[in-house]
Protein backbone atom coordinates (compact mmCIF):
# COMPACT_ATOMS: atom_id res chain seq x y z
CA UNK A 1 0.00 0.00 0.00
CA UNK A 2 1.35 3.42 -0.96
CA UNK A 3 1.85 5.88 1.86
CA UNK A 4 1.85 9.62 2.34
CA UNK A 5 3.42 11.95 4.88
CA UNK A 6 1.01 13.20 7.52
CA UNK A 7 1.57 16.93 7.38
CA UNK A 8 4.86 17.92 8.97
CA UNK A 9 4.82 15.13 11.55
CA UNK A 10 7.30 12.85 9.81
CA UNK A 11 4.78 10.02 10.15
CA UNK A 12 3.52 8.18 7.08
CA UNK A 13 0.05 6.68 6.65
CA UNK A 14 -1.58 4.73 3.81
CA UNK A 15 -3.18 6.79 1.04
CA UNK A 16 -6.20 4.56 1.50
CA UNK A 17 -7.92 4.18 4.84
CA UNK A 18 -10.96 2.27 6.07
CA UNK A 19 -14.12 4.24 6.72
CA UNK A 20 -16.73 3.00 9.20
CA UNK A 21 -19.59 5.45 8.69
CA UNK A 22 -22.97 3.74 8.50
CA UNK A 23 -22.23 0.97 11.00
CA UNK A 24 -25.46 0.37 12.91
CA UNK A 25 -26.05 -0.26 16.59
CA UNK A 26 -28.08 -3.12 18.07
CA UNK A 27 -27.46 -5.52 15.19
CA UNK A 28 -26.85 -9.28 15.18
CA UNK A 29 -23.55 -10.96 16.00
CA UNK A 30 -23.29 -12.09 12.37
CA UNK A 31 -23.57 -8.47 11.22
CA UNK A 32 -20.61 -7.38 13.34
CA UNK A 33 -18.65 -10.53 12.51
CA UNK A 34 -18.93 -9.71 8.82
CA UNK A 35 -17.72 -6.17 9.42
CA UNK A 36 -14.83 -7.35 11.58
CA UNK A 37 -13.70 -9.77 8.88
CA UNK A 38 -13.70 -6.97 6.34
CA UNK A 39 -11.60 -4.72 8.59
CA UNK A 40 -9.10 -7.51 9.22
CA UNK A 41 -8.80 -8.13 5.49
CA UNK A 42 -8.09 -4.45 4.99
CA UNK A 43 -5.34 -4.52 7.60
CA UNK A 44 -3.89 -7.58 5.87
CA UNK A 45 -3.83 -5.58 2.62
CA UNK A 46 -1.97 -2.69 4.25
CA UNK A 47 -4.99 -0.46 4.87
CA UNK A 48 -3.92 0.14 8.44
CA UNK A 49 -5.48 3.59 8.86
CA UNK A 50 -9.00 3.11 10.22
CA UNK A 51 -11.40 6.01 10.67
CA UNK A 52 -14.33 6.08 13.07
CA UNK A 53 -16.28 8.55 15.25
CA UNK A 54 -18.18 8.58 18.50
CA UNK A 55 -21.41 9.35 16.64
CA UNK A 56 -21.18 6.27 14.37
CA UNK A 57 -23.74 3.88 15.81
CA UNK A 58 -23.67 5.92 19.04
CA UNK A 59 -20.29 4.54 19.97
CA UNK A 60 -20.85 1.09 18.49
CA UNK A 61 -18.35 1.63 15.70
CA UNK A 62 -15.59 2.53 18.17
CA UNK A 63 -16.48 -0.38 20.41
CA UNK A 64 -16.46 -3.00 17.66
CA UNK A 65 -13.30 -1.53 16.17
CA UNK A 66 -11.73 -1.79 19.60
CA UNK A 67 -12.38 -5.54 19.59
CA UNK A 68 -10.62 -5.86 16.23
CA UNK A 69 -7.54 -3.78 16.93
CA UNK A 70 -6.94 -5.57 20.23
CA UNK A 71 -5.75 -8.51 18.13
CA UNK A 72 -2.96 -6.48 16.50
CA UNK A 73 0.23 -4.72 17.49
CA UNK A 74 -0.96 -1.22 18.34
CA UNK A 75 2.05 0.36 16.64
CA UNK A 76 1.02 -1.19 13.33
CA UNK A 77 -2.29 0.69 13.20
CA UNK A 78 -3.28 4.33 12.81
CA UNK A 79 -6.63 5.11 14.40
CA UNK A 80 -8.65 8.26 13.71
CA UNK A 81 -11.80 9.18 15.59
CA UNK A 82 -13.90 12.30 15.89
CA UNK A 83 -15.47 14.47 18.59
CA UNK A 84 -19.19 15.06 18.11
CA UNK A 85 -19.82 18.84 18.11
CA UNK A 86 -22.95 18.77 20.29
CA UNK A 87 -21.04 18.60 23.58
CA UNK A 88 -21.75 21.85 25.34
CA UNK A 89 -18.75 22.48 27.59
CA UNK A 90 -15.00 22.00 27.79
CA UNK A 91 -15.39 19.29 30.44
CA UNK A 92 -17.97 17.31 28.48
CA UNK A 93 -15.78 17.42 25.37
CA UNK A 94 -12.86 16.07 27.36
CA UNK A 95 -15.05 13.31 28.83
CA UNK A 96 -16.18 12.38 25.32
CA UNK A 97 -12.57 11.90 24.28
CA UNK A 98 -11.89 9.68 27.30
CA UNK A 99 -14.98 7.59 26.45
CA UNK A 100 -13.73 7.14 22.89
CA UNK A 101 -10.40 5.91 24.22
CA UNK A 102 -12.19 3.45 26.49
CA UNK A 103 -14.43 2.10 23.73
CA UNK A 104 -11.45 1.71 21.42
CA UNK A 105 -9.41 0.10 24.19
CA UNK A 106 -6.35 2.22 23.47
CA UNK A 107 -4.25 4.63 25.50
CA UNK A 108 -3.75 7.20 22.76
CA UNK A 109 -5.71 8.26 19.67
CA UNK A 110 -3.48 8.73 16.63
CA UNK A 111 -5.60 11.45 15.04
CA UNK A 112 -8.48 13.21 16.77
CA UNK A 113 -10.81 15.47 14.80
CA UNK A 114 -13.57 17.93 15.53
CA UNK A 115 -16.36 16.28 13.52
CA UNK A 116 -18.19 19.47 12.53
CA UNK A 117 -17.87 23.15 13.40
CA UNK A 118 -19.95 23.52 16.55
CA UNK A 119 -22.96 25.82 16.83
CA UNK A 120 -22.52 25.80 20.61
CA UNK A 121 -18.77 26.17 21.22
CA UNK A 122 -16.25 28.51 19.71
CA UNK A 123 -13.43 27.19 17.56
CA UNK A 124 -11.09 28.60 20.20
CA UNK A 125 -12.59 26.33 22.88
CA UNK A 126 -12.51 23.32 20.57
CA UNK A 127 -8.84 23.87 19.84
CA UNK A 128 -8.10 24.23 23.54
CA UNK A 129 -9.64 20.80 24.10
CA UNK A 130 -7.63 19.20 21.31
CA UNK A 131 -4.35 20.77 22.37
CA UNK A 132 -4.88 19.84 26.01
CA UNK A 133 -5.49 16.22 24.96
CA UNK A 134 -2.19 16.26 23.04
CA UNK A 135 -0.42 17.65 26.10
CA UNK A 136 -1.95 14.91 28.25
CA UNK A 137 -0.66 12.21 25.90
CA UNK A 138 -4.19 11.09 25.01
CA UNK A 139 -3.91 12.21 21.38
CA UNK A 140 -0.93 12.22 19.01
CA UNK A 141 -2.16 14.50 16.23
CA UNK A 142 -5.18 16.70 15.69
CA UNK A 143 -7.34 17.89 12.82
CA UNK A 144 -10.81 18.94 11.84
CA UNK A 145 -13.65 17.75 9.63
CA UNK A 146 -16.11 19.70 7.49
CA UNK A 147 -14.33 23.01 8.18
CA UNK A 148 -14.05 25.72 5.52
CA UNK A 149 -10.61 27.12 4.75
CA UNK A 150 -11.54 30.22 6.77
CA UNK A 151 -12.53 28.08 9.76
CA UNK A 152 -9.40 25.96 9.35
CA UNK A 153 -7.19 29.06 9.47
CA UNK A 154 -9.02 30.33 12.53
CA UNK A 155 -8.58 26.98 14.26
CA UNK A 156 -4.86 26.94 13.53
CA UNK A 157 -4.56 30.51 14.85
CA UNK A 158 -5.76 29.44 18.30
CA UNK A 159 -3.27 26.58 18.65
CA UNK A 160 -0.16 27.36 20.65
CA UNK A 161 2.13 24.34 20.50
CA UNK A 162 0.75 22.05 17.83
CA UNK A 163 -0.64 22.14 14.30
CA UNK A 164 -3.63 20.73 12.48
CA UNK A 165 -2.58 17.96 10.10
CA UNK A 166 -5.82 17.16 8.28
CA UNK A 167 -9.25 18.37 7.23
CA UNK A 168 -11.72 15.57 6.49
CA UNK A 169 -14.19 16.63 3.81
CA UNK A 170 -16.97 15.17 1.66
CA UNK A 171 -15.11 14.90 -1.63
CA UNK A 172 -15.48 12.67 -4.67
CA UNK A 173 -15.17 12.83 -8.43
CA UNK A 174 -18.88 13.67 -8.39
CA UNK A 175 -18.51 16.25 -5.61
CA UNK A 176 -15.55 18.47 -6.43
CA UNK A 177 -16.33 21.65 -4.49
CA UNK A 178 -13.43 21.27 -2.06
CA UNK A 179 -11.04 20.11 -4.77
CA UNK A 180 -11.56 23.29 -6.73
CA UNK A 181 -11.85 25.76 -3.87
CA UNK A 182 -9.47 24.54 -1.18
CA UNK A 183 -7.12 21.72 -2.22
CA UNK A 184 -4.47 24.11 -3.50
CA UNK A 185 -4.39 25.74 -0.05
CA UNK A 186 -3.90 22.40 1.73
CA UNK A 187 -1.25 21.33 -0.75
CA UNK A 188 0.65 24.58 -0.24
CA UNK A 189 0.45 24.24 3.56
CA UNK A 190 1.34 20.54 3.60
CA UNK A 191 -2.03 19.55 5.08
CA UNK A 192 -3.79 16.28 4.28
CA UNK A 193 -7.24 16.46 2.72
CA UNK A 194 -9.09 13.30 3.73
CA UNK A 195 -11.92 12.55 1.33
CA UNK A 196 -14.86 10.76 2.93
CA UNK A 197 -17.72 9.12 1.00
CA UNK A 198 -15.55 8.90 -2.16
CA UNK A 199 -18.26 6.78 -3.81
CA UNK A 200 -21.24 8.71 -2.53
CA UNK A 201 -23.59 6.88 -0.19
CA UNK A 202 -24.49 4.06 -2.56
CA UNK A 203 -21.23 3.17 -4.22
CA UNK A 204 -22.07 5.05 -7.43
CA UNK A 205 -24.44 2.23 -8.33
CA UNK A 206 -27.01 4.68 -9.69
CA UNK A 207 -24.56 7.07 -11.31
CA UNK A 208 -25.68 8.17 -14.77
CA UNK A 209 -24.81 10.60 -17.51
CA UNK A 210 -21.54 12.05 -18.71
CA UNK A 211 -19.58 11.31 -15.54
CA UNK A 212 -20.47 7.63 -15.67
CA UNK A 213 -19.51 7.49 -19.34
CA UNK A 214 -16.12 9.02 -18.59
CA UNK A 215 -15.53 6.66 -15.65
CA UNK A 216 -16.44 3.66 -17.79
CA UNK A 217 -14.09 4.78 -20.56
CA UNK A 218 -11.11 5.17 -18.20
CA UNK A 219 -12.04 2.00 -16.29
CA UNK A 220 -11.90 0.01 -19.51
CA UNK A 221 -8.37 1.29 -20.18
CA UNK A 222 -7.20 0.13 -16.74
CA UNK A 223 -9.27 -3.08 -16.58
CA UNK A 224 -10.97 -1.67 -13.50
CA UNK A 225 -14.42 -0.76 -12.22
CA UNK A 226 -15.80 2.77 -12.18
CA UNK A 227 -15.59 2.69 -8.38
CA UNK A 228 -11.88 1.90 -8.55
CA UNK A 229 -11.26 4.76 -10.96
CA UNK A 230 -13.19 7.13 -8.69
CA UNK A 231 -10.95 6.16 -5.76
CA UNK A 232 -7.80 6.30 -7.87
CA UNK A 233 -8.75 9.77 -9.14
CA UNK A 234 -8.72 11.14 -5.60
CA UNK A 235 -5.43 9.63 -4.44
CA UNK A 236 -3.70 10.65 -7.66
CA UNK A 237 -3.80 14.20 -6.26
CA UNK A 238 -1.04 15.33 -3.91
CA UNK A 239 -1.97 15.53 -0.22
CA UNK A 240 -5.23 13.62 -0.71
CA UNK A 241 -6.17 10.36 0.97
CA UNK A 242 -9.57 8.69 1.07
CA UNK A 243 -11.44 6.42 3.48
CA UNK A 244 -14.08 4.33 1.66
CA UNK A 245 -16.15 1.92 3.72
CA UNK A 246 -16.15 -1.72 2.65
CA UNK A 247 -18.59 -4.02 4.42
CA UNK A 248 -17.65 -6.95 2.17
CA UNK A 249 -14.21 -8.48 1.74
CA UNK A 250 -14.46 -8.33 -2.06
CA UNK A 251 -15.01 -4.59 -1.89
CA UNK A 252 -12.04 -4.18 0.45
CA UNK A 253 -9.83 -6.01 -2.04
CA UNK A 254 -11.13 -3.86 -4.89
CA UNK A 255 -10.42 -0.68 -2.91
CA UNK A 256 -6.87 -1.78 -2.18
CA UNK A 257 -6.29 -2.46 -5.88
CA UNK A 258 -7.64 0.98 -6.75
CA UNK A 259 -4.95 2.66 -4.64
CA UNK A 260 -2.32 1.30 -7.03
CA UNK A 261 -3.92 2.58 -10.23
CA UNK A 262 -1.84 5.37 -11.76
CA UNK A 263 -3.90 7.69 -13.91
CA UNK A 264 -2.32 9.91 -16.54
CA UNK A 265 -2.55 13.68 -16.23
CA UNK A 266 -4.96 13.65 -19.14
CA UNK A 267 -7.20 11.09 -17.44
CA UNK A 268 -7.23 13.06 -14.20
CA UNK A 269 -8.08 16.34 -15.90
CA UNK A 270 -10.80 14.64 -17.93
CA UNK A 271 -13.01 14.69 -14.84
CA UNK A 272 -12.42 18.29 -13.75
CA UNK A 273 -15.60 20.32 -13.72
CA UNK A 274 -13.79 23.63 -14.20
CA UNK A 275 -10.25 23.48 -15.50
CA UNK A 276 -9.62 27.15 -14.77
CA UNK A 277 -10.15 26.70 -11.04
CA UNK A 278 -7.99 23.60 -10.93
CA UNK A 279 -4.88 24.83 -12.73
CA UNK A 280 -3.00 25.24 -9.42
CA UNK A 281 -3.72 21.71 -8.21
CA UNK A 282 -0.78 19.33 -7.96
CA UNK A 283 -1.06 15.81 -9.28
CA UNK A 284 1.01 12.90 -7.96
CA UNK A 285 4.10 12.48 -10.10
CA UNK A 286 4.55 9.23 -11.98
The residues spanned by each domain of the chain are 3-270
pLDDT of residue 286: 54
Q: What is the model's pTM?
A: 0.95
Phi and psi, residue 266, nearest 5°: -65, -40
**Residues facing 144 on adjacent strands:** 114, 167
Torsion-angle region of residue 238: left (phi > 0), alpha (psi -120 to 50) or beta?
beta
**Domain 3-270 CATH class label:** alpha beta
Contact 172, 194 (CB under 8 A): no
pLDDT of residue 22: 83
Nearest to 85 by CA among 110, 61, 108, 53: 53
Nearest to 17 by CA among 217, 170, 242, 180: 242
Alpha helices in the chain (DSSP H): 29-44, 60-69, 90-104, 123-135, 149-158, 177-189, 209-222, 226-235, 249-258, 265-270
Element (H, E) at 14: strand 12-14
Burial of 33 (0-12, 13-18, 19+ CB in 10 A): exposed
Strands 3-5 and 240-242: unpaired
pLDDT of residue 278: 66
Averages of pLDDT over each 10 residues, the chain, 286 residues? 93 97 86 94 98 94 96 97 90 96 98 92 94 98 97 97 97 94 95 96 88 97 98 97 95 97 94 72 78
Amino acid sequence: MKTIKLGKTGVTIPILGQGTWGIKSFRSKSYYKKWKESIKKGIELGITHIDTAEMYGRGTSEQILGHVISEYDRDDLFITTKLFPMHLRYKTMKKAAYKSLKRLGIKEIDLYLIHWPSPFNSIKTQMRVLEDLVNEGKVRYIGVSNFSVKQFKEAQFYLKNTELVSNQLHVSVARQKHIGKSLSFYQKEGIIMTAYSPLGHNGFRNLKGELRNKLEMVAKTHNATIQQIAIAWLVNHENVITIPKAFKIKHMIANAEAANIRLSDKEIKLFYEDGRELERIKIVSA
